[in-house]
Each structure stands twice: as structure tokens, then as C-alpha cells.
Amino acid sequence: MEENTKKIREYSIKELRAICQATAPNPARESKVGVFSRIFSIYATKLFLNTPITPNYITILSVLVFFAGIALVLPGVYWMDLAGAGLVFFSIILDGSDGEVARFRKRGGILGGIYTEPVSHDLQYGLMFIVFAFRFFGNSPFAIYLLLGACAAIAKLEYRLLEDRFWMLTRGNITDAGIAEIKKEYSHKPWPVRMIYWFYKNFLSSTGVFLVLFVLALVRHLEWYLWFFAIGYSSMWLALFIKQTMAIHRQKIV
């Protein structure tokens, strides 16, 4: 173990980037926050590589840090709002680091990719907006923020489920070559569609939530957070449902 640790310490950051980030998500398809976080994630990765900590445990740690950040916004104190946003960004760094550690150790197993990673995001989306809802509960009539929190969480989780169901229906046995072809199709989509994808990945993705949180905390208007995601996720779910229904009709899938 000691010999292995010494070898890892000999790697430069540049070498680790080449090994751990070469097959990371395509920067052209990743949010600006996601790309920015990789500047820092490689340093966390180097620290983790000197330990026996597995990528799945790093994922769990990122979830704990995420909810610690969300919990900080509950008191409604300005500096705590900003600190909470900072912890959320740190959780994104850890979320990138788990994949980098897996790539270095060549242990990208089924558990992490199919279960641990998706479930961690489901927990975040399922509970994050409820926490925000309780912060603003009682500040408006008809418990509107509780409804907004529930709407944001349900719409986002339903969006993820809709994606999975349609994928299994149409591309359940797709090959790596097929996935590469799907990625190429993106550049040929009409510009309004590409703009929607751009908006989604930068503001409504798992990394995009930080950007909205940080900006609204900075301008002292976190009450807009739930409005933004309730409307945003509901609109995206409806658009995806219509798109998939039309695709099923065209392909006459029964």
C-alpha cells in the first residue's frame, strides 16, 4: 500500500487530468459549472487516490456535503446562504471526483453508474426543494411555497423517470456506437431545440442548481428559487412528454 501511495503521489496534476478527465463528459455537452468544477475536482481526486476510499463512498460524501449546504439556508441569514451555496459547489466537485477516481483505478462498476450515482441525485432532487419550501413556509398565503417545493421535486423526478422509460422503450439494447451516433445527432438539431438543451444543462441540471442558488443568494432573493425550478421543471417535463408521445406515434410503437 505504501509503495502504491508513493507512485500516486508522483503523478502531476496535468498527468492526472489526462488520465481521469479524458473520458469525462464532453465539455460541449456539460454545464459551465460542471466544466468549472473540474478545475478543482482533480485536486480532490489526487487526495482520494492516496486513500482506500472508493468512488461510491465519495458519492455518499458528496450527498452529505450537498445537504449540509442546503441546511445552511434554513435560518435565512445572508452569509449562511452564501456559505450554503459554497458547500453545494463543493459537493459538485466531489461528484466529479468520484468518477475521476474510478477512471484512474479502472473500477467503473455497474453499482456506481447504474445505482449509486442516480440514486444520490434522486435524493437531492427529491428533498432539496422541500427544505427550501419549509424556509419560506408561512411567509405567503395558501402555503404557496410548500406547493412550489412539491411541484419542483415531483416534476424533476418525473422528468428523470420519463427519460429512463423512453430510453428502455426505444434504446434498451443500444451499443456504444449507437450512443456515439446519438451524440452526433445533437449538432443537427434545430437551433431552438439546442437552446432548450443549453438552458436545461446550465440552469436545471444537477450542476446548474448551484448557479441559480448562488446568484439568488447573492442578490438576497432566494424566494425566487422555488418559482424558478417549479416552473422550469414542469415546463421541461411537459415538453419532454409531448416530444416522446409524438415520437412514439411516428414510430408506431405498440
Q: What's the chain's average pLDDT? A: 84
Nearest to 88 by CA among 132, 46, 146, 56: 132
pLDDT higher than 60, residue 52: yes
Mean pLDDT across the stretch 158-172?
81
pLDDT higher than 60, residue 10: yes
Query: Residue 145 and residue 121: Cα distance in Å, rounded?
Result: 22
Query: Residue 150 and residue 118: Cα distance in Å, rounded?
Result: 20
pLDDT higher than 90, residue 252: no
Are residues 183 and 9 in contact, defined by beta-carbon separation less than 8 angstroms? no
Query: Residue 212 and residue 199: Cα distance in Å, rounded?
Result: 12
pLDDT in tens, 185-228: 656 677 787 888 889 989 998 888 899 999 999 999 998 999 99
Confidence at 152, pLDDT banded by 50, 70, 90: very high
Query: Residue 232 and residue 228: Cα distance in Å, rounded?
Result: 6
The b-or-e profile of 208-223 (16+ CB within 10 A means b, else e) is bbbbbbbebbeeeebb
State the pTM of this model.
Answer: 0.85
The domain ranges of the chain are 2-251
Residue type, 201: K
- The predicted pLDDT at position 40 comes to 95
Portion of the chain with pLDDT greater than 90, in percent: 43
Of residues 53 and 173, which shows the higher confidence score?
A: 53
- The predicted pLDDT at position 101 comes to 93
pLDDT higher than 90, residue 68: yes
Query: Residue 128 and residue 180: Cα distance in Å, rounded?
Result: 33
- Find the angle CA(245)-CA(201)-CA(47) to the nearest 5 degrees: 135
User: What superfamily does domain 2-251 belong to in CATH?
Assistant: CDP-alcohol phosphotransferase transmembrane (TM) domain (1.20.120.1760)
Are residues 38 and 21 in contact, defined by beta-carbon separation less than 8 angstroms? yes
Are residues 87 and 66 in contact, defined by beta-carbon separation less than 8 angstroms? yes
pLDDT higher than 70, residue 140: no
Helix (H) or strand (E) holding 22: none
Least confident of 77-81, 135-139, 158-162: 135-139
pLDDT higher than 90, residue 30: no
Query: Residue 90 and residue 92: Cα distance in Å, rounded?
Result: 5
DSSP strand E in 30-112: where?
A: none
